[in-house]
Amino acid sequence: MDWNHLLSRQVTQLPRSGIREFFDLVTGSRDIISLGVGEPDFVTPWNVREAAIFSLEKGHTTYTSNYGLEALRRAIADYVQDFFHIGYDPACEILPTVGVSQAIDLALRCLLNPGDEVLYHEPAYVSYAPTVELAFGTATPVETSIDDLFALSPEKLEAAITPQTKVLMLNFPTNPTGSIAPPETLRRIAEICIEHDLFVLTDEIYSELRYDGQEHLSIAAIPGMKERTLLLHGFSKAFAMTGLRLGYACGPRELIDMMVKIHSYTMICPTITSQEAGIEALKNGKDAMLEMRDSYHLRRDYIVKRFNEMGMDCHLPGGAFYTFPSVKRFGLSSRDFSLALLKEQKVAAVPGTAFGACGEGYLRCCYATSFALLEQACDKMARFCDALLKK
Amino acid sequence: MIQDALLKLLEEDARLSDQQLAERLGKMPGEIAEARAQLEKEGRIVGYQTIVNDDTEGVAAFIEVRCTPERGGGFNRLAERIARFSEVKSCYLMSGGYDLLVMLEAKDLMAVARFVSDKLSSMEGVLSTSTHFRLKTYKLNGLLFEETESPDRISVAP
């Protein structure tokens, strides 16, 4: 077969995820403590699992409407109203999807013409830029740094805007840095979007997992932004439902309508089992969710303190379940540090560069791992750092 | 505040040292020791025990006891008398069709029968008893006895 001829250039030219190489290495090693995961260490709360089982018992194994179950959309509307203080019409402004990833893909394909530019803040979740490129757009990162605690600087954003810029992608709390944009920064970003007529895709999958005691503010809730924002959220992180693959998009009906068009041709709907589990999570999952959040909170405080004690400068991330400590003082690149840490101490942490070039000098360490394992990982990392500093 | 957080951690794992607790709660070990002592003094921490799966050894019985309340003292004096027997592992005052629920552990059925007939039923104030035997324990103190392992997470994910 002439695969060069057969395969789409669009796909073959797409770079592999920077996390892939690391995944292969870790998968081949034994007795690793991994801080490289990107999902909760909790099992989905039992009442939600039970709702999924009951759904199967009742024989609910059919397609649903392309818009998903009406009861789910109503539950999402109520939840979003309560949590984000934004009202969406469940009849036409909400679309349940197979995770936020699918919603991003749909939205970008609906919004972009070839050559249209999408800005996103880096370090970023690994799939944003490839999804833009698969939709024939141009993905342009706007670097963030420790100086603004990895929240997007409005000045840098404004400087990156060109006549081709159409969409801005936001993700607060951020994977991989755990950063949160302060309200005044978000308001300034909103002004810039209105001034330059940008549409915003805001991935708020970690929004419940905040530890600063502040109420979460979505850019979609800022006056003038709802009509130019698609709010993306889901069940994976806060309700520990990653494998159930359920997310949703809330936004202007004109965009949702086009997204449903693609969705009806390519996906039809998320599994009905997950949709019915999702209704249970939204209606009766809050206590379990808050308990998980409080547990992450304790672990965040612990790991950040340990990292700083061992010489890895680490800011206190406001949300998600990631820390982004600096390894700059050890004189190794992120990749070399990660590889040596894996080889010598059998602890896996993802090099910051997997999330963009400006992640150089940092690691992403996920603390959604049992306290006992976190303690072991920190002890091993402390020995490793100590040995490096003595060299 | 620190006491509530401390109780939550200890309820999950009573073997955590003050040092570990201090690290997890971001406090000094001295503060943990002080808070723990205060909780013990207040009687909120009653003790530290190991949860043993003893389904295969001995027998456990749940005995519903109906009794006559005393003027002035209600059920308390009788309940305390019953609770002092070493065989009695738990004792609760209940609403509903009976008054006290007594959980008993003994080496065999005969030992339970002797306790009920010799000690419990003959006690002044006890009107009747109804004894149920445990067949199998599924969950105790919030812990599932036959917890299936959760599936392994993939070790690196975006």
Per-residue model confidence as pLDDT tens digits over B126-138: 999 999 999 999 9
* Per-residue pLDDT, B27: 92
* Per-residue pLDDT, B151: 64
pTM: 0.90
For B53-78, give the DSSP string: --TTSSEEEEEEEEEPPBTTTBTHHH
* Per-residue pLDDT, A295: 95
* Per-residue pLDDT, B71: 86
* Per-residue pLDDT, A140: 98
Residues of A in Cβ contact (< 8 Å) with B22 = none
Residues of B in Cβ contact (< 8 Å) with A38 = 157-158
Residue that the structure tokens 């909780």 belong to: B39
A172, with CB counted inside 10 A (0-12, 13-18, 19+), is: buried
| Residues on chain B bordering chain A, Cβ-to-Cβ distance under 8 angstroms | 5, 20, 23-26, 150, 153-158
Q: How many residues does chain B have?
A: 158
Condensed to tens digits (0 to 9), the pLDDT of residues B84-121 reads 999 999 999 999 999 999 999 999 999 999 999 999 99
* Per-residue pLDDT, B152: 72
Predicted confidence band at B158 (pLDDT cuts at 50, 70, 90)?
confident
Residue B150 has pLDDT above 80, yes or no: no
Pick from A34, A126, A298: which is nearest to B158 by CB?
A: A126
**Ranges under pLDDT 70 in chain A:** none
Condensed to tens digits (0 to 9), the pLDDT of residues B13-32 reads 999 999 999 999 999 999 99
Pick from B5, B150, B153: which is nearest to A39 by CB?
A: B153
Contact, A310 vs A278, CB < 8 A? no
Q: Calculate ∠ Cα A103-A105-A111, nearest 5°.
A: 100
Residues of A in Cβ contact (< 8 Å) with B23 = 302, 305, 375
Residue B143 has pLDDT above 90, yes or no: no
* Per-residue pLDDT, B144: 86
ipTM for the whole complex = 0.73
Residues A161, A140: Cα–Cα separation, whole Å: 10
Please state, in angstroms and as integers, the Cα–Cα distance from residue A53 to each residue in A115, A281, A286, A317, B133, following that order: 46, 14, 20, 37, 31
User: Greatest CA separation found in chain B?
Assistant: 69
Q: CB–CB of A302 and B154 under 8 A?
A: no
Pick from B25, B155, B158: which is nearest to A34 by CB?
A: B155
* Per-residue pLDDT, B56: 80
Q: Which long-range contacts (CB under 8 A, 24 or more apart) does A387-391 make?
A: A388/A330, A388/A331, A388/A332, A389/A311, A389/A329, A389/A330
Nearest residue of A to residue B151 by CA position? A43
Phi, psi of B120 (to 5 degrees): -75, -55
